[in-house]
Structure 1
Amino acid sequence: MTSLTFHRLRAVAGRPAAAPLASLVAGAVGAAYLWGTDPHEHGHWLPRCPLNWATGLLCPACGATRMLYDLMHGDLTAAFHDNRLLLLASPVGLYLYGRWVFEGLRGRAYHPRLHKYGQVAVLATALAWGIARNAV
């Protein structure tokens, strides 16, 4: 029995598929809580960005919770206002997440690879976005 066959048998038994399934359940619970909790108002249990809490600066992902809330309630303009770059990049993240879940539930591993120049581009874009958000 090759290691690949053994890996597939183990996947069918449910071990690797547990992570995507747990991720879906956690996401559904989080979405249910966010649906009824307006992050634009104070007095909720939603976490605050650690960078924003410590420095008062906006990180590249600040506004993501508000953006998701606005998207769930059909307000695309407010979601764009909360975090433009993250909203425009979210289809890529959703595709990668969906592919990981799909392959995991089928018992396969999915490990997308990003070349080092791609990693530099992503980090440089995030850094530039973080600087631009705080400069304006």
Structure 2
Amino acid sequence: MATEAVRRRPVPRAARAPLAVGALVAAATVYVAVVDPNRPGHYVTCPLLALTGLACPGCGGLRATHDLAHLDLVGAWSMNPLWVVAAPLLVALWAVWLVRAWRGRPAPRVPAGVAWATLGVLVVFGVLRNVPALVPWLGPVAS
């Protein structure tokens, strides 16, 4: 019985960008998983935190990513709860982008309202995580 060679479908040209972004993010995540951000000397300090003592919305994001890569949800939440919520949403958006690109459809467009709402959430989170009464819940845990 003769077997036919399996024909491989080439990667569509439009899918190369989401695949490249996915590979870059995966490599960066592996690096952060291996090189612990809790140990000083491996990563730069947040300039806002260093200059003012205020935590920006991204402060604790590397440590949260490290904890997520090690499946420590509680540790990640204590570093940056917004990132713990946002990371899976970003992965889902990336997956939608990849599927659409693979099927030859244009990348999804983010409505202006969503972009403005995202900016608003970042600003509100940035302010609230520096309110002294909320720091134990929203501020990054000191390493």
Report the TM-score, using the length of structure 1 for normalisation.
0.74
Aligned pairs (5 A) from 1:86-97:
86-97=83-94
Is residue 2:54 matched to residue 1:30? no
Higher mean displacement: 81-90 or 49-58: 49-58
Ranges in structure 2 where 5+ consecutive residues have no aligned partner: 1-10, 133-143
Give the distance between the partners of 2:119 and 2:52, measured in 1 at CA. Answer: 20
Question: Taking structure 1 as reference, are residues 89 and 27 closer, same or farther at Cα in structure 2, changes over 3 Å only?
Answer: closer
Give the distance between the partners of 1:34 and 1:52, measured in 2 at CA. Answer: 20
Q: Deviations over 1:77-134 (max 9, x none)?
A: 1111011122123332221111112222343322233243x43332222111101112
Report the TM-score, using the length of structure 2 for normalisation.
0.71
> Which structure would you say has the larger RCO, counting Cα contacts within 8 Å and 6 or more residues apart?
1
8 A contact 2:60–2:79 mirrored in 1: yes
Q: Deviations over 1:29-78 (max 9, x none)?
A: 2122112111011121x344343344432111221111111011121111
Q: Which amino acid aligns with 1:132?
A: L
**What's the C-alpha RMSD, in Å, of the aligned pairs?**
2.2
Report the CA distance between 1:21 and its aligned residue. Answer: 1.8
Percent identity of the aligned residues?
A: 34
In the TM superposition, structure 1's runs of 4+ consecutive aligned residues that sit over 4 Å from their partners are none
2:73 alignment counterpart: 76
1:39 alignment counterpart: 37
8 A contact 1:20–1:105 mirrored in 2: no
Is residue 2:104 matched to residue 1:107? yes
8 A contact 1:17–1:105 mirrored in 2: yes
1:121 alignment counterpart: 117
Q: Which amino acid aligns with 1:40?
A: N
Q: Which amino acid aligns with 2:53?
A: G
Q: Secondary structure at the match of 1:134?
A: coil
1:130 alignment counterpart: 126
Give the distance between the partners of 2:22 and 2:88, measured in 1 at CA. Answer: 17
Larger-gyration structure (1/2): 2
Indicate the structure with greater helix content: 1
